[in-house]
Amino acid sequence: MPLPALTLLVPQSRPVPPDDAEADLLALYAHAPGVVRANMIASVDGGAWGPDHVSGSINDAADWRVFRVLRALADVVVVGAGTARAEQYTQLGRPDGLEHLREAPLELALVTRSGDVPPVLAQAERPPFVITGARGAAAAHAALPPERVIVVPTAGDTSDAAGPHAGAAPPHASDVDVAAGLAALAEHGLARVLCEGGPHLLADLLAAGRVDELCVTTAPLLVGPGASRIVAGEAPAATPPQARLGHLLHAPGTGTLLARWLVPRA
């Protein structure tokens, strides 16, 4: 896929031409270990996916250009198991042309209440980590090597079965304590986290105060009703955090906008 030219609009206007080494974008998106970054795409009218219920139908080459840089800078991609199935995730590799940026493989971590792992991932040469609660532990252990299974607290669960990160799970959690899962990944040396959704997982991470950056691509499409927003849940935050715009990129050829928002932790 040819890399499109981009223009930086904020904080100052300048071109960001295509570059196999992506030096400009790597500098723009550089971040420290311990930062949790989420990357999502939405249509102009707020839909997180297109008519086929996957985000691939609303992204484009500009989104792909930034997407591969974000993955190159991450230690681990964290994604909900449902999203991994819908988007047909496979074992992750280092982005083409950016392999020199990391010696270690890019890891994948699935968040799942049931512990079910898509067979294509369970049978991969390097299977994913699975973050689950006590309810999903048996299924996860049946599918994966023990070192790949992270069992964390579930809502109301303080039992020993919840693992070494057990404690009172926050009331927002949809069964799996995502903050404890991130802490466990950090113990594996996976300190740069990239969350790729879906909307329910992003809602849990935001409610836990564990999102430092939200990268949002706005696709110049109107998908109409029926698609979820990039954050899904029962009710809006009582006190919405105030995000700050880190930078804004524009793809002149299509009108796609790519924003990096900085989110204060609760």
| Pairing between β-strand 244-250 and β-strand 129-132 as defined by DSSP bridges | unpaired
How confident is the model over 236-257, as pLDDT tens digits?
777 888 999 999 999 999 999 9
Answer for the pair 182, 210: CB distance below 8 angstroms, yes or no.
yes
How confident is the model over 102-152, as pLDDT tens digits?
888 999 999 999 999 999 999 999 999 999 999 999 999 999 999 999 999
User: What pLDDT, on the 0 to 100 scale, is given for residue 162?
Assistant: 46
Domains and CATH numbers, the chain: 6-40+53-262 (3.40.430.10)
User: What pLDDT, on the 0 to 100 scale, is given for residue 177?
Assistant: 95
Among the listed residues 77, 69, 78, the one whose alpha carbon sits nearest the alpha carbon of residue 96: 69
Q: For residues 138 and 89, what is the distance between their CA atoms, to the nearest angstrom?
A: 23
Q: For residues 183 and 95, what is the distance between their CA atoms, to the nearest angstrom?
A: 26
CA atoms within 13 A on the CB side of 105: 10
User: What pLDDT, on the 0 to 100 scale, is given for residue 169?
Assistant: 37
The residue type of 105 is P
Answer for the pair 210, 179: CB distance below 8 angstroms, yes or no.
yes
pTM over 0.85: yes
User: What pLDDT, on the 0 to 100 scale, is given for residue 102?
Assistant: 81
User: What pLDDT, on the 0 to 100 scale, is given for residue 155?
Assistant: 58
User: Which positions of the chain have pLDDT values less than 70?
Assistant: 155-174, 266
Among the listed residues 121, 156, 152, the one whose alpha carbon sits nearest the alpha carbon of residue 134: 152
